[in-house]
Amino acid sequence: MENIPVGPVTMQRTCPSCGNTVISRIEHKSSTKTHLIATILFVSLCLPFVCLPYCMNTCKNVEHYCPNCNCYLGTYQR
């Protein structure tokens, strides 16, 4: 599969699997950076702030999928 550049928001793409031109479906996924930010908050600010990176989409990667066939289209890494 070719590497399709994607961004942080839904995008119009041609799905390599089904061939349809679609607006991608996105999912926000925690990454190593999300866990690192949570660890730094725990060490510096204490327990109540640890959950913040997991509640904020700006701290997560964005995965793009075809809404028709659920084919993975790419990941925007934060």
Tell me the DSSP string of 35-50.
HHHHHHHHHHH-GGGT
For 7-49, the pLDDT digits (tens) are 899 999 999 999 999 999 999 999 999 999 898 888 887 777 7
pLDDT score at 51: 86
For 39-61, the pLDDT digits (tens) are 888 888 777 778 888 898 888 99
> Is residue 3 in a domain?
no
pLDDT of 1 > 60? The answer is no
What DSSP character marks residue 69?
T
Structurally, the chain folds into a number of domains equal to 1
> Is residue 55 in a domain?
yes
- Distant-in-sequence, close-in-space partners of 58: CB < 8 Å, separation ≥ 6: 78
> Is residue 43 in a domain?
yes
pLDDT score at 3: 65
> Is residue 16 in a domain?
yes
Q: Which residue range is the domain that position 72 belongs to?
A: 12-76
